[in-house]
Amino acid sequence: MIQFGHNNIQPEDINRCVSVLQSGWLVNGPVVEELEREFCHFTGASYAIAMNSCTACLHTACYFLKEKQGISKLKVPDVTHVASAHAARMAGLEVELVDVDPQDGIMLPEHLTGEEVIVHLAGQPAAETTPNTIEDCAHALGSKYSNGGHVGTQGLCGCFSFYPTKHITCAEGGMLITNNRELMEFARLFRGFGIDRPPQFRSKPGEYDSLFVSPNYRMSDASAALLIGQLKRFEDNRQHRIKIARIYEEELKGVVELPSWRNGTSWFIYQIQTENRDGLVEFLKKKEIQTSVHYRRPLSQMSAYNDKFTGANSQRFADTVLSLPIHQGIMESDAREIIQAICLFKNS
C-alpha cells in the first residue's frame, strides 16, 4: 500500500517527549518556549506563539482584527479547509468567499483589499499580501515568497498546523508567527483564558487576573518536544519532496494538468488536475495507491456557508483536482509506480 500520509517522528523525538513527561512540567514550560525560539529562527519572524491547532491561531488573529482594528468582514478563498473561514465566523466576522486561480486554487490577487485570509494551498506561496492579511500557512511550512522570505512574515501573521498529515506533526498543534508586537501580546493572553501571568510569574499561588474572555488554546510541552527535532530535520524533508515533485513533473507532463511550479513551494502535496478524477481515484485505490482531494467541495457548497457565490474557477478546480502522495515515506520507485498507474488509466 502506498500511503497518502506519513509522519516522520523519530526515536530522538519520542525520547525528548518522554523526558518532558518525566520532568513534571507539562504546560507553559521551557520546551514550548524553546520551540517558539526555534520557529522564529526557522522563519525569520520576530515572534512565535504556540497553540493547540492552526484553527486556534487563525481564530486568535481574526479576533485581533475585529477587536483592535475594527474589521467586520474577511475575504476567504472558496477552495480551502473550512477552518480558514470558520475562524473568521467564530470571531464574529462576516465571510466573503472569493474565486481562485484555476491552475493552483490560490486566491486571485485582485481580491486582496487588506481584509482577507489567504491560503498558501498545497504549500504553493501566494504572490501577494497586505499588512493586514492573515496567512493560512497550514500547508506551507518551509515555503518562501519570491523575495526569499518565509511565508507568514509579510502579512499580519502566519498560522501553521501540526496535524498528522502536515510536514511536521505533534498530533494536534499550531503556531502563530508575527512581526507585530501588539498581536504577539494579544495572542499570548488570548491562548490562555486572558490570564495575565503563568504560574511561574505569580507572587502568591493563584494570584492572577483575567483581562478578557478567551479560550484555552495552549500547546503542551510534550507536543512541543515532538516538534523540535522534526523542525531541525526539515531541510531533508523539503529536499525529498522537491525530488519527488520533479519526477512527477517530468513524467506526467502531457498526461494530466500539472500545478504551476511556484518558486519557493515546499510541496506539502502534489496536486494534479484531470477530468474523470473520481475514476482515477478508484483505479489507483485498486492498485493500493492512496490519494486525497484538497478540496472536493468549495466552501460555498458547505451547509455552514451555503453561499450563493460559486466561482467558475473554484468549482472546476474542486471537480478536477487530485492530491498525489509526496512525503518522506515515498521512494522514487513509489513515484514511478504511481505515474505508471496514472498513464495506464489515461490510456485505457
Can residue 314 be called a binding residue for ligand PLP (CB under 6 A)? no
Please report whether residue 54 would count as binding ligand PLP according to CB under 6 A. Answer: yes
Nearest-angstrom CA–CA distance, 330 and 320: 23
Q: Which of 13, 36, 104, 136 binds ligand PLP (CB under 6 A)?
A: 136
- From the list 145, 142, 91, the residue with the least C-alpha distance to 118 is 145
Give the Å distances, CA to CA, from 278 to 5, 17, 94, 269, 341: 19, 41, 34, 18, 14
81 near ligand PLP, judged by CB under 6 A: yes
Tell me which of 163, 190, 217, 305 binds ligand PLP, using CB under 6 A.
163
Specify the amino acid at residue 255. V
Which region, judged by CB under 6 A, interacts with ligand PLP, from 41-49, 133-141, 285-293, 306-314? 133-141
Written as nine digits, the cell of 189 is 493572553
Nine cell digits for residue 65: 482584527
For residue 186, the minimal CB distance to ligand PLP (Å) is 19
Sheet holding 174-178, edge to edge: 47-51, 174-178, 157-161, 134-136, 117-119
Residue closer to ligand PLP, measured from CB, 157 or 247: 157
Site for ligand PLP in 99-128 (CB under 6 A): 119
Stretch that binds ligand PLP, among 100-108, 132-140, 146-154, 178-186 (CB under 6 A): 132-140
**Strand ranges in 19-133 using DSSP code E only, listed in sequence order:** 47-51, 73-77, 94-98, 117-119
H or E element: which one contains 314? helix 312-320
Least spacing, CB of residue 270 vs ligand PLP, in Å: 15
Binder of ligand PLP out of 138, 141, 272, 284 (CB under 6 A): 138
Check binding of 139 to ligand PLP (CB under 6 A). Answer: yes
User: Does 85 interact with ligand PLP (rule: CB under 6 A)?
Assistant: no
Contact positions vs ligand PLP (CB under 6 A)? 53-55, 80-81, 83-84, 119, 136, 138-139, 161, 163, 174
